Amino acid sequence: MEATYWHEKWKKNNIAFHEASGNSLLSEFFSQLSLSKGDRVFVPLCGKTRDIAWLLSGGYRVVGAELSEMAVEQLFQEMDKTPEVEQIANLKRYKASNIDIYVGDIFDLDMEILQEVDGIYDRAALVALPQDIRPVYAQHLMAMTKVAPQLLISFEYEQSELAGPPFSISSQEIFERYNADYHLKMLASRDVPGGLKGLVPAREVAWLLTRR
């Protein structure tokens, strides 16, 4: 999607993709990543997700990437944190205790800027990207995180019945994107209550990806 699409979404507060209470699959399956308190978790295309507060409350450090500066400003406001803001190359970094969020194009983020991460939580990145961008994103993500283990949340539904995002991503595509570098395990596949956006039956799927 073009950057203007997401900026308009946030400007108009059209953020049905934002889960006010956080994601239940995160709290149920995050332990499968076998991380320790103090480990650093990367949340790509994070928006202002409440999942970040959940990770911080569990003693993890969080680093995120987000296109919309408005979303990041709201994230820190809602967590009652006052960030330090600095420009790093083409990105802005919002920094507070145990949290760094990079604002800008995720493809401008690299290993040198991101620094070491111990795990990845992808609930809103892969599913937000159109089909032609997803292979590039997957390779970029693995390169800048040194193939860190992932908890990946995806959706499956009849794509012809609803235009994404979030896009439908089949199990076959998950394997095509990641099987060469990761062992993949489906942890859960559950109906989305009321359907996706209340319009089409869908399933939310949790995947565990561990380095080969």
Predicted confidence at residue 18, as pLDDT, reads 46
Distance of alpha carbon 150 from alpha carbon 19, whole angstroms: 20
Bigger pLDDT: 204 or 14?
A: 204
Distance of alpha carbon 97 from alpha carbon 95, whole angstroms: 7
Predicted confidence at residue 22, as pLDDT, reads 72
* pLDDT, tens digit, 9 for 90 and up, residues 123-168: 999 999 999 999 999 999 999 999 999 999 999 999 999 998 999 9
DSSP 33: G
Distance of alpha carbon 185 from alpha carbon 204, whole angstroms: 14
Model confidence at 13, pLDDT cuts 50, 70, 90, reads: low
Neighbouring residues of 130: CB distance < 8 A, sequence distance ≥ 6: 1, 164, 165, 167
* Residue 10 annotated as lining a ligand binding site: yes
Distance of alpha carbon 74 from alpha carbon 13, whole angstroms: 11
Predicted confidence at residue 10, as pLDDT, reads 45
Signed CA dihedral, 150, 122, 3, 164: sign only: positive
pTM: 0.91
* pLDDT, tens digit, 9 for 90 and up, residues 47-80: 999 999 999 999 999 999 999 999 999 999 999 9
* Residue 123 annotated as lining a ligand binding site: yes
| Architecture of the 3-211 domain | 3-Layer(aba) Sandwich (3.40)
pLDDT above 70 covers a percentage of the chain that reads: 90
* Residue 184 annotated as lining a ligand binding site: no
